[in-house]
A = this chain, B = another copy of it.
Amino acid sequence: MMTGAQYRESLGDGRAVHLEGRRVHDVTCEPAFSPAVQWLSEVYDQFYDPDPAAGGPYFVIPRTAAELRTLAERQRGWDISTIITSEALLMVLTAASRMRAEHPEYSERAMRYFEQSRRRDIRVAFAITDAKGDRSLAPKAQDDGDLYLRIVGKSDDGVTIRGAKLHVSNCAIVHDIVVMPTKRMKEGEEEWAFAGAVPVNAPGVTVIGTSHAPPPEDAERYPWSTRYAISEALVVFDDVFVPSERVFLDGQVDHSATWAHSLGVWERLGALAHIVDSADLLVGLAQLIAEANGLDRIPHIRQKIGDLVIYATLLRAGLGAAIDNAEFTAEGFATPSELFTNAAKYYAAAQFSTMVRNLHEIAGGAVITAPSLLDLRNPEIGSGIEKYLGTGIEGVSTQERLRLFHAIRDLTADAYGGWRSITLLLGGGGLHAQRMVAAKHYDFAHAKQLARDAAGITASPTY
């Protein structure tokens, strides 16, 4: 296993990272990346065990609903890349398991990759979304076949890939990129059916980062995002060689959708567990700021807090049901229920913007107009702020009230808030996709039988 310091050192591996038009030579010093490096370093230190046989608890395969619940609970203490690493490796194992009957070699490679990753204690990023070009056209019909990442060469010991992937979260600060198809491929699209693991510093890999991180020194104005902001990236794969051992799909178009489904299940569990916390956080911010404003007994404020409570509670119920109704692969890996995961994730994403609206209405305009704590400490004007932004409410200091306004702004009405809202909405595929997946897993036969009974249709069902 690695310590935080060893992890930081491991990033000096020659990787080609760009940001805002320039090459970044040391990602650990770059403000856009440093909060995430710091966060992940702390997680490394937290789990470090010098025993050479030791492995992080993020390299664990749940085999019962109870183990799945433990995993979901544990994820709450991890940074994003550690969660992604857990999800990505479980996804690789799940997909390979589903392909096992026909392609046992992938299953073996997947298990070896899992073991090696555990031993090396690395972190990985997902690379899923292709460039796609004109999205109304199939890969083959694009002006440029590379607009979907594809295999452009094969040799005895591996394949060569070319293309680009969008929305690769935290790519600049992890070790490997787990690449997979963005969608179901059809017959004739074999070259686009690729999955595999690629080191971030592999020749031909270019990471073009974007960031919503705030100025790193401004922890008072950005109390959340100075700790938790991450970067996104467009990753270009320019004829990158992938050795066979790291190839998990190579032309089996009938299995390209297996990957998307395996991904969906694991990615959405993490998202759902995370959003339950996020929803509780919204309730907490709403209640604290209502109290700090002296408004917590006003009927329409209480109703809005009640709406937030309903939201958080239904999401917690959804997470519980996704785990209680776990499904199992042939190998016995426990995976969250697709039906409940997608239904709850849909509800979370569909209602999030309205819940943020509720929080803003409860908190008031000071979310965007509250002075900074620097102003509060300024001898010329601090006393005025203390006088006028204090409330006289027992136990609520002016400083804490200001901190609440800044936290709400940082989380919901600033650069990080925008990233968060869009990630929550679109991560795992958007409302439309989640609704369709939920419907796919719903027990229509049962529902239709109820309907036939209600209508007095007694004939044997033929449709």
Contacts and interface: CB of A to CB of B under 8 A. Distances in A.
A29 interface: no
Among A340, A369, A381, A456, the most chain B Cβ lie within 10 Å of the Cβ of: A369
25 contacts: A23-B380, A133-B392, A135-B391, A212-B368, A232-B368, A280-B446, A280-B447, A280-B450, A283-B442, A287-B444, A288-B452, A306-B438, A310-B347, A310-B438, A313-B339, A314-B347, A353-B353, A360-B425, A361-B426, A361-B432, A368-B418, A394-B462, A400-B457, A409-B418, A414-B414
B143 A459 contact: no
A354 interface: yes
B370 A312 contact: no
A372 interface: yes
A269 interface: no
Contact of A407 (B318, B378, B451): B451
A77 interface: no
Given A356-B353, A371-B210, A147 B413 contact: no
A164 B384 contact: yes
Give the 9 A-B residue pairs with the shortest CB-CB distance, closest first. A21-B374, A413-B418, A284-B451, A395-B462, A284-B447, A143-B392, A317-B321, A407-B455, A134-B294
A223 B404 contact: no
Nearest to A226: B456
Interface stretch (A55-63, A106-114, A183-191, A233-241): A233-241
A369 B166 contact: yes
Contacts of A129: 365
A236 B381 contact: yes
Contact of A135 (B294, B314, B372, B400): B294
A347 to B, nearest CB: 6
A206 B381 contact: yes
For the residues of A in contact with B, the DSSP-based class is: helix
A147 to B, nearest CB: 7
Contacts of A356: 353
A281 B450 contact: yes
Contact of A432 (B232, B303, B317, B407): B303
A367 B210 CA distance: 11
B316 A321 contact: yes
Given A310-B343, A431-B361, A302 B436 contact: yes
Interface residues of A, number: 155
A425 B219 contact: no
Contacts of A361: 425-426, 430-432
Contacts of A366: 166-167
Contacts of A415: 413-415
Contact of A374 (B20, B320, B367, B394): B20
A16 to B, nearest CB: 9
B343 A313 contact: yes
A393 to B, nearest CB: 5
Contacts of A223: 454-456
Contacts of A452: 284, 288
A408 to B, nearest CB: 8
A285 interface: yes
Given A303-B435, A372-B210, A392 B455 contact: no
Contacts of A442: 283, 309, 312-313
A411 B224 CA distance: 22
Interface in A163-182: 163-164, 166-167
A103 interface: no
Contacts of A163: 388
A293 B373 CA distance: 43
A233 B369 contact: yes
Contact of A313 (B340, B350, B392, B407): B340
Given A281-B451, A357-B425, A439-B309, A238 B384 contact: yes
